[in-house]
Structure 1
């Protein structure tokens, strides 16, 4: 292999996945204190932003496969944090909402999320973090 050949260190996927694991671990330490994972926190926040959202809408917003979303929502429904009610008899679509317990958990987790945000920005830099978020959000809106 010559020095001009790309290596795994040149791989965008490798770098993004490694960074995602690092960032996830940081956020897990914080929001985990509220009894949810970082992934569950993002789902609770997304449902809170759009009460009554359907599974399909939420899957699109979260850039997730619907079957993955269903599996991710099961523990939140089991623990009484998220409700799923059929919209009407003519459709199989269900409306997702937070229960009172879900809103309370989201509030507690949001306080921990603020701590995680501060820690990340202290380590990475506030301006760099803002640019990174902008770039990553642009990436997920590419088609």
Structure 2
């Protein structure tokens, strides 16, 4: 970058740069896509009184053994405080049970209740249809490659 391109005393950003960011910023476009996709899933799950985030949380608990809260937080890329806040309405609805880890009383284990599993079973076909609809929107490109790229981008730097 030459001095002509960047002047430290100039406290403005040219409009052309705004357009360039608008058209090429990965962060902007991933956030826009995430919001749009979440709205589509929220609309689809609305008859079950479930949000897309709650569905993801319930699905993350569908394991052979109850996961630790920290493992679910890591999977969902959220801090434990946010996870706790997201669990409260599900716990109040009787969909999730939070219990102390018998091996370490400081840890918490998360379990889907029978009602939670039943709701997840109702929601899964809705997810499957909505997922297929969305994959169809990227069919001209490559939905599998898009997913692989997003997973790669979401890895923490080492």
Which residue of structure 2 aligns with residue 24 of structure 1? 38
What secondary structure, in the 3-state scheme, does the structure 2 residue paired with 1:122 have?
helix
SS of corresponding position for 1:125: coil
Contact 1:51 1:98 survives alignment (8 Å): no
- The CA RMSD measured in Å over matched residues stands at 2.0
Q: TM-score, normalised by structure 2?
A: 0.81
Secondary structure at the counterpart of residue 93 of structure 1: strand
The answer to whether the aligner puts 1:113 opposite 2:145 as a matched pair is no
Indicate if the aligned counterparts of 1:28 and 1:37 stay in contact, CA closer than 8 A: yes
Shift of 1:58: 0.8
CA distance in 2, matches of 1:97, 1:126: 40
Equivalence for 1:136? 150
Q: Normalized per residue, which structure has more helix?
A: 1
Matches within 5 A, 1:1-143: 1=14, 3=16, 6-49=20-63, 51-88=65-102, 90-125=104-139, 128-143=142-157
1:111-139, Cα deviation, whole Å (9 max, x unpaired)? 10011012112222176221111111112
Name structure 2 gaps, 5 residues minimum: 1-13
Q: CA shift at 1:80, angstroms?
A: 0.4
Structure 1 residues without counterparts, runs of 5 or longer: none
Residues paired across the two proteins, number: 143
Bigger RCO of structures 1 and 2 (CA < 8 A, at least 6 apart): 1
Which structure has the bigger radius of gyration?
A: 2
What displacement does 1:4 show?
6.3
- Displaced runs of 4 or more, over 3 A: 2-6
